[in-house]
Amino acid sequence: MILALKRLFSFSMSKRQKYHFLSQIEIMGIGSLTIVLLTAFFIGMVFTFQVAKEFSYLNATNLVGSVLTMTFVRELSPVLTAVIVTGRIGSAFTAEIATMKVTEQIDVLYVLQANPINYLVLPRVLACLVMLPLLNIFALATSIASSIFVSSILYHIPPSVFLDSSSISILDFVYSSFKALVFGLIISTVSCSWGLNSQGGARSVGKSTTSSVVTSLLCIFMVDFLLSYFMFHTSVSVFQV
C-alpha cells in the first residue's frame, strides 16, 4: 500500500496504461452507477419512512428535511457508496490480480520489464480516486430525491418545506467528497495489496478476495468514525436554538 502511494505522485502513463485506466473508469463508474442509484433510492425511502414517521408523532415534521439531508450528506451516501464499490469493484480487483499472481502472469510482466505496480495497481487506484466521489454525488442526489418523494406522498410534507428546512452547507459537501476520496483510496490499495500477496493455487484467490472485502469494510468503518469525529464533533446540533 505504501509503495503504491509513493509511486502515485510520480506516475506518468503510457498509452497502454492510459487505456487501462480508462477501462477501469468505465468498469467502476458506468458499471457501478445503476446499482449505486438503485440502492441509494430505496435506502433513502426506507430512512425517510422511519424518520418521518417518528417526527410526525412529535409534531416536528419541519425537522425531517434537516435531519435526513444531514444524514445523507455526512454519513449515509459516502459510506453506502463505498460499501457497494467494495463488494462489486474491490473484490473484482483482488480476484483479477490474485489470479494473475497464482498463474505467474505477474512474473511475465517482470520479464517484459513492465512494473506490475504501475501497470496493474496505479490505474485502479486513480480510477477509484476519480469515480468514487462522483458516485457519491449521484447517490446523494438520488437519496434526497427519494426522500422528498416519500415525505410528500406519505406524510404530506411539501418539497419546499423539506428543502427549506435542510441545513447542509458547502463544507458538508466538501467533507462528504473527501470521505469518498479516502474510501476510494482504501478500497483500491487494500484490494490490490491482497491480490499481489496471494500465494498458492486457485483456492487462495477466493481467500484473498474474501479477506480484501472484509479488510476494506473494517477500514472504511474505522476511518469513517475518525473522519466524522474530527470533521463534525464541533458542529452545532440542528436541535439547538
Q: Give 67-117 pLDDT, tens digit per residue.
A: 889 889 989 999 999 999 999 999 999 999 888 888 877 777 777 766 777
Indicate the SS3 state at residue 199. Answer: coil
Q: How confident is the model at residue 16 (pLDDT cuts 50, 70, 90)?
A: low
Q: Is 229 exposed, middle or buried (0-12, 13-18, 19+ CB in 10 A)?
A: exposed
pLDDT of residue 224: 94
| pTM listed for this prediction | 0.85
- Rounded CA-CA distance 46/63 in Å is 17
Per-residue model confidence as pLDDT tens digits over 40-77: 999 999 999 888 888 877 777 778 888 889 889 989 99
Mean pLDDT of 228-239: 66
Q: C-alpha grid cell for residue 4?
A: 503504491
pLDDT of residue 200: 76
**Residues in the chain, how many?**
241
Mean pLDDT of 207-218: 93
Per-residue model confidence as pLDDT tens digits over 131-182: 999 999 999 999 999 999 998 888 888 888 888 877 778 888 999 999 999 9
Q: How confident is the model at residue 9 (pLDDT cuts 50, 70, 90)?
A: very low
- Rounded CA-CA distance 106/94 in Å is 13
pLDDT of residue 116: 75
